[in-house]
Structure 1
Amino acid sequence: MAYAPPADILEVLQRIEYEEPLGPEDERYVDTREARGSQRTLDRLARKLGLLLADGRFFAPRQKHVLFFGHTGSGKTTELLHYAIHLQGADRFFLVDLDITKDLDRNNLKYADTLMAMARALFSRLQEAEIALDGNALRPLEEWFSERVLSTEAGRELQAELTTGADGQGGLPGLIKLFATFTAAFKANVTYKDELRRVVRNGFGHLADAFNDLLHRVEDKLQATGKGRRVLFMIDGTDKLRGADTREFFIHDAEQLLAIEALVVYTAPLSLKYEGNLAGKLDSDLVLPMIKLADQDGTPYPAGRGAVRDILLKRADRSLFAAEGDIDRLVEHCGGHPRELLRLLKLCCEFAEDLCIDSATVDAAIRQLASEYRRFLEPEDYALLARIDRDNSHAGNDERTRRLLYNLALLEYNDGTWRRSHPVVRILEGYRSAAARLAAADTAPSP
């Protein structure tokens, strides 16, 4: 049966999930490559990892840690799910996915936690693909755990919580269970978390060696069985870390990241891209462009507007809207940001009278979303946003600008070549006053 968007406002409302990525088979997916003004993002990522998509040539580097930047909610996870179709295969990559928001505590994350989760995800993926490893491949990691972790009080207590310990259930099943237990402890067990992190940190060099040895053996096995040539980790959720935690993970823990001889893609918040001390440590120039509604000079961009309209009408049937103009205004006021569009749609469903999204409903939704920005914007923010809108340029990377990018009050287009304030911000009194002062200064007579 062909997909039909919900035609009941209550159903539309209950189906809206901000954190829900759309997989390859999801009929709500809209191809936004042209709408974002860049067709090369997938090609560039593949080349960074050593794959030429045009003819399948493969020459992967020994290691590569790629940051995949983009505004929060701009669709990075959804796009990566679709990129995976092109990246995986017998003569390409063996993909291992990890979402840290599900497996770990994103409000208190260290790289040590992530490495434990990566190991668990790798073991689970190998088991799923029915790839068997001999004892020699697993032994270095098992020995590290036995000598470094299971000898501690926290390690012994956690091992006792297993219904069957690692030594009671050997091989991959035992390691999957062991790593799952420790990953859960990193997420929820405050008592053990600090001690385990200290053990991992103090023995990280040996852990990295054991993990790297395992990866090399796994990749030999993948090639021998025709299941892939290299392991590629895709780590999602790292773009949702808080500001200080983001810097701790990607900057302070960078040496630990780089000690792992793996191919890894991490989602990352756009604001991190402009941290000066990030340069040179990680591959940090790949951005998922925003969907643009207009070019830099203000000329409407039909591909972008059409894609955003399609995203909206995949979520809510056309019959729910009183007029085309109401759809157009929702498209315009989301700024081309998919999650902001969903936020506006959610508000419309909550405000709608007579179960119809009309002009008054759209007005109420826009005002409500604008009020949410008003709560954190400061007078100096409005002044900066007004100045950026006047010359429509990059406008620097100071701390205030990075904060506005992180909070979506400032949106970036065309791989960062130009920026514009969020459309709902421009209806706020603070912004209008700041813009009026700039205009007055331009027309004031010279002294």
Structure 2
Amino acid sequence: MSATPYHPPSHLLQVLQRIEYEQALQLGDPRYVDTREARGSQRTLSRLAKKFGLDLKTDVLYAPEAKHVLFFGHTGSGKTTELRHYARELSGPNRFFIVEVDVVQVLDPNNLQYADTLMALAQALLLRLNEESIHLGQDSIGEIEKWFSERVLEAEEGKEFSAQLEAGAKAKGGIPFLVDLFAKFTASIKANASYKDKLRRVVRNNFTQLKDAFNGFVRKAEETLQAAGKAQRILFVIDGTDKMRGEDTQKFFIEDAEQLLAITAFVIYTAPLSLKSGGNLAGKLDADLVLPMIKLQERDGSPCAAGARAMSEILLRRADRKLFASEAEIDLLVEYSGGHPRELLRLLKLCCELAEEQIIDEATVRAAIDQLAAEYRYFLQPDDYALLVRIDADPLHEGTDERTNKLLYDLALLQYNDGSWRRSHPVVRTLEGYIRAAQAASAQTGISLT
């Protein structure tokens, strides 16, 4: 029996309720659009695979001992959705066993530390192994179970935490005990339990022993997966680490990088562009892979048909074409999104809220553009407009300073082609501050910049 054909919502209220731009698409979601040509990212998956020693064409694997890869991109640009599709290609008997961890769901991204992440990785691995009916022997988990018993549960700092564990799981030991322990640990971190700092201190003070126990646990799990014909290595995909605040990002990826690298595993982390632009990552983490933005035009200003086509398709898989007065409204929404998928959905959401009738006409689109632009007005400074005008006059990437970095983080400045050129967000160019800065620059140079 064939699956029911997908039809996008045909009522604006339906469209509005189904817009979820904070959530990535699951595999098989009919709203997914292949954007590789539109981004110019046709080789990104192949490069990612090779970083872990895999040739996708031949299925040959020469895996390094460990590899920690950062996957950069604008917030909301589609990193998680793309990674899920990459993960499907990377999984298999001669490839990898994928373990996904969303730190937004299980931890607190606004106060994330390597100790928290390690617990979340262990929990996710145990749960995935259970899903696949992969059974580990006691020798696989003995060391990590011993570490927790001796270093956490019997320590003074861990007594309050120990009391939270279910007596049955503690008495039984083994995998049920560890699953319960990891779940309670991550829940305590996310819920900001009073003993969170105590638990983190225990991990920091005994990290060497924990690192050895965790690495041993991963190796045993990989041997079991190999014997079962499931995979050759484990690949952790950590999502949500691109949503951390600036100081937390700095601490996690730079100050605590040695602790991350001490884990001899394969790990992919999502990361914000601002981290890459900071220039402090050289030699620590594999940090050269960027998911490019969808291009609506080339650097010389000529149209990019593949980008416009992909963005239109993203829009029309969320709203029936008949909801738009004409193709012109679709083109206008795509243009003012700047090629950023989440910004396109934000504009669509505003159109649904602002429409007077059951149709999105030009007046509605213009009102949505004004409303989104107003969001940027709140945080942009007078000097920001002048900088954006200068970048737009010559979009070639000639370097990054702290102010430019912040504009990238806030999406007022968008980056294309792996960062080789940049341009301000189209809605920002409608603001009075930008228009006045452009007029002032034109008066000085004699060249119109608007």
Q: Calculate the TM-score normalised by the size of structure 2.
A: 0.97
CA deviation profile, 1:232-259 (whole Å, cap 9, x unmatched): 0000000000111111110111010000
Residue aligned with 2:39, SS:
coil
Looking at structure 2, the residues matched to 88 and 305 of structure 1 have their Cα atoms a distance apart, in angstroms, of 32
Moved more, 25-34 or 393-402: 393-402
Q: 1:7 to 1:432 in 2, by over 3 A?
A: same
Q: Does the Cα contact within 8 Å between 1:127 and 1:172 map onto a contact in 2?
A: no
Q: Does the Cα contact within 8 Å between 2:158 and 2:198 map onto a contact in 1?
A: no
The reply on whether 1:120 has 2:127 as its aligned counterpart is no
Residue matched to 2:252: 249
Residue matched to 1:106: 109
- Cα RMSD for the two superposed structures: 1.1
Q: Does the Cα contact within 8 Å between 1:373 and 1:425 map onto a contact in 2?
A: yes
2:41 pairs, out of 38, 41, 44, with: 38
2:23 pairs, out of 20, 24, 40, with: 20
Per the TM alignment, residue 189 of structure 1 is displaced from its structure 2 partner at its CA by 3.5
Residue matched to 2:445: 442
The reply on whether 1:264 has 2:267 as its aligned counterpart is yes
The reply on whether 1:332 has 2:335 as its aligned counterpart is yes
Looking at structure 1, the residues matched to 401 and 175 of structure 2 have their Cα atoms a distance apart, in angstroms, of 48
Q: Does the Cα contact within 8 Å between 2:160 and 2:195 map onto a contact in 1?
A: no
The reply on whether 1:425 has 2:428 as its aligned counterpart is yes
Per the TM alignment, residue 261 of structure 1 is displaced from its structure 2 partner at its CA by 0.2
Per the TM alignment, residue 23 of structure 1 is displaced from its structure 2 partner at its CA by 2.0
Residue matched to 1:185: 188
Residue matched to 1:349: 352
2:379 pairs, out of 369, 373, 376, with: 376
Residue matched to 1:240: 243
Residue matched to 2:7: 4
Looking at structure 2, the residues matched to 47 and 425 of structure 1 have their Cα atoms a distance apart, in angstroms, of 39
Per the TM alignment, residue 218 of structure 1 is displaced from its structure 2 partner at its CA by 1.1
Structure 1: 5+ residue stretches without partners: none
Q: 1:191 to 1:106 in 2, by over 3 A?
A: same
Q: Calculate the TM-score normalised by the size of structure 1.
A: 0.98
Aligned residue identity for 2:189: F
2:55 pairs, out of 52, 59, 65, with: 52
Structure 2: 5+ residue stretches without partners: none
Residue matched to 1:282: 285
Looking at structure 2, the residues matched to 364 and 18 of structure 1 have their Cα atoms a distance apart, in angstroms, of 20
Looking at structure 2, the residues matched to 417 and 146 of structure 1 have their Cα atoms a distance apart, in angstroms, of 52
Aligned residue identity for 1:411: L
Which segments of structure 1 move beyond 6 Å, counting only runs of 4 or more?
Answer: none
Q: Does the Cα contact within 8 Å between 1:388 and 1:395 map onto a contact in 2?
A: no
Q: Does the Cα contact within 8 Å between 2:38 and 2:307 map onto a contact in 1?
A: yes
Q: 1:184 to 1:235 in 2, by over 3 A?
A: same
Q: How many residues align?
A: 444
Looking at structure 2, the residues matched to 20 and 180 of structure 1 have their Cα atoms a distance apart, in angstroms, of 23
CA deviation profile, 1:167-225 (whole Å, cap 9, x unmatched): 32332222111110111111114311100000000111111011011111111111111
Per the TM alignment, residue 20 of structure 1 is displaced from its structure 2 partner at its CA by 1.6
Per the TM alignment, residue 165 of structure 1 is displaced from its structure 2 partner at its CA by 4.8
The reply on whether 1:65 has 2:68 as its aligned counterpart is yes
Aligned residue identity for 1:31: D
**Matched-pair identity in %:** 64
Looking at structure 2, the residues matched to 277 and 32 of structure 1 have their Cα atoms a distance apart, in angstroms, of 30
Aligned residue identity for 2:108: D
The reply on whether 1:224 has 2:227 as its aligned counterpart is yes
Per the TM alignment, residue 297 of structure 1 is displaced from its structure 2 partner at its CA by 0.3
1:413 pairs, out of 416, 427, 433, with: 416
Residue matched to 2:295: 292
